[in-house]
């Protein structure tokens, strides 16, 4: 493996051609993000087809994450831009209107989720245009009047945040539900659910997937203040977490974001669930050839925090050189991983017997200086639990299902290396050894630590550790 930490790259106009997708995979992208805040289903279908073709052409496995847009709150249409000054007043009305200036220092407007207005209380804040304009609620009733706190220009359809208000709305819009059905039908691997407030939001998303025959893994985007407060419950019902620092930095004081990032990553690591760190990681490379030193440090610190994945947004979607951005991220990850604190023994509470088996396997691999760990996994869970301990050597996952292989593209240190038919353990191990030696994945004189379950094919039954050295390798190769 080039690196242990995975890269998630957003596909957009700069990167959606077959040629670019192939180049990005070869450069080090592990998962592609399809942003459903933009584009039609027809466009995304074409992109998905090209991603799968690029995967076939390169011979490398990548995953696909569908980012569900969620109920982004926005101001309505304005007659003209509002040139706001400190002390001006905004009147938010419940009916849909075209925003306009009422008089000196007074403006009327609406938002696309008018039900939120009834939940506002005096003294709470309303942030507009990605937090660049701040207003404090002065009075509530038939309309909400807010006092502008700073100078700024507001135009139509700009985003609105409520950093003190529990808005309590259904985070899955009709569009989101249609998008999720598209994702199920087209077999995306992951869905990222936006603006999650609590565990119930993720349970509702899971219900939609299961009721429609889907198997997608669901990632909760942590970008609201109440999601931070409810992180433990959200993590329990999610397959993974995304620290979405953009809206999060508006919902909470910006200086709290680094500490929240570290806490969320630690909790995800503890739970053996993948965690993505997102937003503005190499943003300056959207337009420039090089990243700032601060951006490089940001990527490095996310790696050292223990993130499974670092994400690119505008940089790969609309940037002038997406491949260079990925190469920069790969170089940063590889250099940082030279000082990474591997082999995290005795760091986590044991949730079950599998945790004990997996920590023992990683410890054995470290003591014996093994070439790699081999993990038979039916659902992918065994490989995820091994990854929790951050072994210095690669985890070579052995699966029966290509869907499971793609699901592991987002997990730290795991290479979905072998796809075998379900059989007796010795027969499958023979297939793995023969294939591994033939393709140069395994070395005849190497040492490998194997974890497996008995009975074979039952999720959650990892109960065996085996050491494979040259005599065993020869045995299974000749079997």
The number of CA neighbours under 13 Å toward the Cβ of 134 is 11
In whole angstroms, what is the distance from residue 368 CA to residue 449 CA? 9
User: In what helix (H) or strand (E) does residue 140 lie, and over which residues does it extend?
Assistant: none
Catalytic residue, chosen from 279, 328, 378, 451, is: 279
Residue 297 to residue 118: CA distance in whole angstroms: 43
Quote the strand ranges of 235-341, DSSP E. 240-244, 275-278, 309-312
**Residues in the chain, total:** 479
Q: Do the Cβ atoms of 302 and 310 come closer than 8 Å?
A: yes
Cα separation, 124 vs 120, in Å, equals 7
432 contacts 466 by C-beta, under 8 angstroms:
no
| 4 part of the active site | no
Rounded to whole angstroms, how far apart are CA atoms 10 and 282? 13
Q: What are 92's two structure tokens?
A: 């938010």
Q: Is the dihedral of CA 152, 157, 161, 165 positive or negative?
A: positive
- 369 labelled catalytic: no
Distance from CA of residue 131 to its chain's centroid?
Answer: 23
Q: Is 100 a catalytic residue?
A: no
Q: Which of 129, 28, 44 is nearest to 78 (CA)?
A: 129
Q: Could you tell me which residues are beta bridge partners of residue 7?
A: 310
Q: Which of 3, 4, 6, 33 is catalytic?
A: 33
Element (H, E) at 155: none
User: Quick check: is 108 catalytic?
Assistant: no
Look-up: residue for tokens 């696909």?
A: 64
CA distances from 316 to 15, 179, 223, 300, 308 (A): 6, 22, 21, 19, 19
What span, in angstroms and rounded, lies between the C-alpha atoms of 339 and 355? 25
Query: Which residue among 26, 72, 74, 347 is the active-site one?
Result: 74
Residues paired with 161 in a beta bridge: 127
Q: Is residue 285 within a helix (H) or strand (E), and if so which, with residue range? A: none
Query: Alpha helices, DSSP H only, in 237-380?
Result: 245-251, 257-270, 293-305, 314-317, 322-336, 353-367
The b/e string for 308-326 (b: 16+ C-beta within 10 A; e otherwise) is bbbbbbbbbbebebbbbbb
Q: Please give the Cα distance from 344 to 198 (Å, whole number).
A: 30
Q: Using CA atoms, how far apart are residues 447 and 468, in angstroms rounded to an integer?
A: 6
Distance CA 258, CA 278 (A): 12
Catalytic residue list: 33, 74, 221, 279
């Amino acid at each position: 493996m080039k690196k242990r930490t995975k890269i998630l790259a957003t596909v957009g106009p700069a990167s959606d051609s077959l040629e670019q997708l192939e180049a990005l995979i070869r450069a080090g992208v592990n998962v592609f993000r399809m942003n459903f805040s933009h584009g039609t289903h027809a466009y995304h279908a074409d992109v998905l087809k090209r991603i799968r073709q690029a995967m076939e052409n390169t011979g490398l496995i990548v995953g696909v994450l569908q980012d569900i847009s969620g109920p982004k709150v926005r101001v309505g249409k304005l007659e003209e831009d509002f040139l706001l000054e400190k002390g001006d007043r905004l009147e938010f009305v419940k009916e849909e209107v075209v925003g306009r200036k009422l008089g000196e220092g007074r403006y009327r407007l609406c938002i696309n989720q008018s039900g939120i207005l009834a939940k506002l209380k005096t003294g709470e804040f309303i942030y507009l245009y990605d937090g660049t304009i701040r207003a404090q609620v002065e009075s509530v009733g038939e309309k909400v009047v807010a006092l502008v706190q700073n100078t700024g220009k507001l135009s139509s359809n700009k985003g609105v945040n409520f950093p003190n208000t529990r808005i309590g709305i259904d985070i899955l819009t009709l569009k989101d539900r249609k998008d999720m059905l598209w994702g199920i039908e087209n077999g995306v691997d992951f869905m990222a659910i936006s603006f999650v407030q609590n565990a119930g939001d993720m349970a509702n998303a899971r219900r939609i997937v299961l009721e429609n025959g889907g198997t997608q893994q669901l990632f909760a985007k942590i970008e609201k203040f109440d999601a931070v407060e409810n992180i433990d419950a959200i993590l329990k019902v999610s397959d993974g977490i995304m620290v979405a620092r953009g809206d999060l930095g508006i919902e909470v004081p910006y200086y709290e974001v680094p500490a929240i990032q570290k806490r969320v990553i630690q909790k995800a690591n503890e739970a053996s669930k993948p965690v993505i760190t997102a937003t503005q990681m190499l943003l300056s490379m959207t337009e420039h050839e090089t990243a700032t030193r601060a951006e490089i440090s940001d990527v490095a610190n996310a790696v050292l925090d223990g993130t499974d994945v670092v994400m690119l947004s505008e940089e790969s979607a609309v940037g002038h050189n997406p491949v260079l951005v990925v190469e920069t991220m790969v170089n940063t990850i590889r250099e940082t991983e030279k000082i990474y604190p591997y082999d995290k023994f005795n760091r986590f509470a044991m949730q079950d017997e599998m945790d004990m088996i997996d920590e023992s396997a990683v410890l054995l691999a470290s003591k014996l200086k093994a070439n790699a760990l081999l993990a038979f996994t039916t659902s992918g869970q065994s490989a995820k639990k091994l990854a929790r301990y951050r072994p210095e050597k690669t985890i070579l996952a052995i699966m029966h299902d290509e869907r499971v292989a793609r699901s592991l593209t987002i997990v730290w240190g795991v290479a979905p290396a072998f796809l075998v038919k379900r059989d007796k353990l010795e027969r499958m191990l023979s297939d793995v050894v023969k294939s591994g030696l033939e393709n140069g994945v395994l070395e005849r004189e190497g040492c490998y630590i194997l974890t497996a379950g008995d009975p074979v094919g039952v999720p959650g039954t990892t109960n065996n550790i085996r050491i494979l050295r040259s005599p065993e390798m020869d045995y299974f190769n000749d079997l």
